Amino acid sequence: MTRYRQQLAGVSYEFHGLVDLMAKATPLRSGDELAGCAAHSDAERAAAQWALAEVPLVTFLTEALVPYETDEVTRLILDTHDTAAFAPIAHLTVGGLRDHLLAGAAVDDHAERLGALGPGLTPEMVAAVSKIMRNQDLIAVSAALTVTSGFRTTIGLPGRLATRLQPNHPVDAPHGVAAAVLDGLLLGCGDAVMGINPAGDSPGRAAELLSLLDEIRQRFDIPVQSCVLTHITTTLDLIERGAPVDLVFQSVAGTEGANSAFGVGLGLLREGNEAGRALRRGTVGNNVMYLETGQGSALSSGAHLGTGGRPVDQQTLEARAYAVARELDPLLVNTVVGFIGPEYLYDGKQIIRAGLEDQFCGKLLGLPMGVDVCYTNHAEADQDDMDTLLSLLVLAGTAFVITVPGADDIMLGYQSLSFHDALYARAAGKLRPAPEFERWLQNQGLADDTGRVLEIDLSASPLRALA
């Protein structure tokens, strides 16, 4: 195990292997303190960041943070590493990669080259460079990257911001779900997905909700995709039954153990992807996976230990989850950035930083990355913090955000964004909905020729049937 040393202000700091160095270099967050791997002081954190900046990128190909022999995510990362894509930057250190990314982000015709780096970067490299970047650095590089995907709408195009319309209901009542869908459509939301977290976990209930969403889609000829966010095994069963499945959902994490806690492995995820693609229900593409991640998920399941039994910091493990996502060529990936709670991201400052890190790491690794801009009611955060994060994500070019009626999810019991917040984001960022959905809004009289949502007389609209 390599020991890393750094002198700072007359004090010598020592870090026991790359796992320890990465953890100590991470901006402060409560999850790493809970895991016992956080830096003990700002000075130690600065020393670790300095030492990390001098680590050659090739080190990450030989010094695994989570053992290769015992973790299929590590094997996926190393076995699929694209050496040709890595070759142009193989000589760089972590600090050199930061300079390279920022230089590329500043020149328009270099943005395509930045995107081409993705297959040559491991999640650990990307996590490492994020730790020595300021918020504005993360935003600048994210904004320069374009990652697109498609099903019935095209996600991730420049100048566009899509939204998940999340019509959750405490008892999965069809009339409550339909009312929330109507509310969202009237405010221009739903082009990423109309996605329900079911209150119950029965396959029969999931099938009913899928049929409801599909009936709405077909009745009003809406170019959107729907999803009931149930376990992938349930979705596979629903496909076998002939239910109208568009997207295959699953939460994923950055270690084999954490994925096992979710009841999945790479084989099952690939099976779900193949089953969804075989349906060929898309019109503009056939990306069928919808994946959710979140910093702290591995720690919460006790599956966060790496080489030498040392805890791996939660942000690095989050980046490793994106390797799992990348393998599946998804339509949508979003981090539920503040959902797991203050034990992992304590306050608004930590949530904002984590959201920008996740956006940066996901896009750099080639994912159509979105964010659930959210917090739990016992976190030291409020809606002003969410306004700040949303605004920064608009600058960073996020593919989509999640929206719920009134910003308050009454089923899951957490605070997210409202449909009105999406209107603000599009107006402030001069952004439009996904093009296919925008045309539908215009045909319904719900948007003008610039994509701006209009008020309508619902009594004169076919959508009145949803009321």
β-sheet bridge partners, residue 119: none
The better pLDDT of the pair 436, 466 is held by 436
Under 8 Å between Cβ of 409 and 168: yes
- Chain centroid offset of residue 375 CA: 15
The pLDDT value given to residue 115: 87
Q: What is the pLDDT of residues 415-426, one digit of tens each?
A: 999 999 999 999
SS3 11: strand
SS3 370: strand
The bridge status of strand 414-415 relative to strand 408-409 is: antiparallel
The pLDDT value given to residue 29: 97
Q: Is the confidence at residue 194, as pLDDT, over 70?
A: yes
Q: Among all chains, which residue has been given the structure tokens 């319309």?
A: 165
Query: Cα(304)–Cα(298) distance, rounded to whole angstroms?
Result: 5
Per-chain mean pLDDT for the chain: 96
Percent of the chain scored above 90 by pLDDT? 92
Q: What is the pLDDT of residues 119-177, one digit of tens each?
A: 999 999 999 999 999 999 999 999 999 999 999 999 999 999 999 999 999 999 999 99
Q: Is the confidence at residue 1, as pLDDT, over 80?
A: no
The predicted model gives 383-398 an average pLDDT of: 98
Q: Is the pTM of this model over 0.95?
A: yes
CA dihedral 363, 447, 191, 148 (to 10 degrees): -30
Q: Among all chains, which residue has been given the structure tokens 């203050």?
A: 342
Q: What is the pLDDT of residues 254-300, one digit of tens each?
A: 999 999 999 999 999 999 999 999 999 999 999 999 999 999 999 99
The pLDDT value given to residue 113: 82
The rounded radius of gyration (Å) of the Cα atoms in the chain is 22
The pLDDT value given to residue 465: 84
The pLDDT value given to residue 109: 62
